Amino acid sequence: MTTLSIFDQNQPETARTVTENPSEIQELLEKHGVRFEQWPTRELPAGASHEDILAAYRDEVAELKAECGFQTADVVSLNPDNPQKEAFRQKFLDEHIHREDEVRFFVRGQGLFYLHFGDQVFAILCQKNDLISVPDGTRHWFDMGPEPEFTCIRLFSNPDGWVADFTGEDIAGRLPRYEALAGAAE
C-alpha cells in the first residue's frame, strides 16, 4: 500500500505523520507542488518489453507530454537478480535536484521517494498504479531497496534523460532507509 511518512530532519528516527490514505497523500504533497495520482494499470505479460509497456500506456504518456512539455518517455525496470542492483541503488541514494520535473509511473513493484522541504522530509512509498511528479529544483532522493523489483515509465523534458545535481548534504544517510519503511507498510 502507498504510504507517506513525514520526518523532522532534526529528529529523523521517527516519523511524525504516517498515512495510507491516497487523497490525504495527494493533498499533503500538492501543498509542495508535487503531483501524485493513482492510475489504473494494464495487465501485461510477465516478460513485456519496454516497447510493449509504452504502447500499453500510449494515451496517458501522450497526454502528459502534451500537458507538461515532456519530450521523451522510457521504461526503467529492475529485478533482484540484476548483478548491478547495488550500484543502481547507490546512484540515487544521495540528495540531489534536477532542472526538470522527475516523473515516474509505477507499472509494477515499488520504490521510495524522499522529498526534502525545509526541515521536513516526506518519504513516499510509491507502488503499482502510482504516478509522482517531483518539481524541478526539489531536493530529493530515491531508494529502491536491496532487492529492487519495479518497473516505471519515466518522462523527460531533457532529451539527455536523467541528469542530477547532487547537493552534498548528508540528510539521506540520517533517515530510515527502504528496509525500515517498506517493511512498515506491509
**pLDDT tens digits, one per residue of 17-48:** 889 999 999 999 999 999 999 998 888 888 89
- 50 a known binding residue? no
- 98 a known binding residue? yes
- Alpha-carbon distances of 153 from 18, 22, 85, 112, 156, rounded to whole Å: 26, 20, 18, 15, 10
Nearest residue to 156 (alpha-carbon basis) of 98, 91, 88: 98
- What's the grid cell of residue 22? 491516497
Q: What tens digit of pLDDT does each residue of 144-153 get? A: 999 999 999 9
- 96 a known binding residue? yes
For the domain spanning 3-185, the CATH number is 2.60.120.10
Cβ pair 128, 109 in contact under 8 A: yes
So what's the pLDDT on residue 157?
82
So what's the pLDDT on residue 151?
95
* Cβ contacts of 51-60, under 8 Å, gap ≥ 24: 53/107, 53/151, 53/153, 54/153, 57/105, 57/107, 57/153, 60/105
Q: What does pLDDT average to in each consecutive run of 10 residues of the chain (186 residues)?
A: 94 88 96 95 88 95 93 93 95 91 94 97 96 95 96 85 80 94 66
Domain boundaries, the chain: 3-185
So what's the pLDDT on residue 160?
67
- 140 a known binding residue? yes
- What's the grid cell of residue 75? 521504461
β partners of residue 103: 133, 155
| Sequence-separated (6 or more) residues with CB below 8 Å from residue 166 | 94, 95, 96
So what's the pLDDT on residue 186?
44
CA angle 155–28–122, rounded 5-degree value: 70
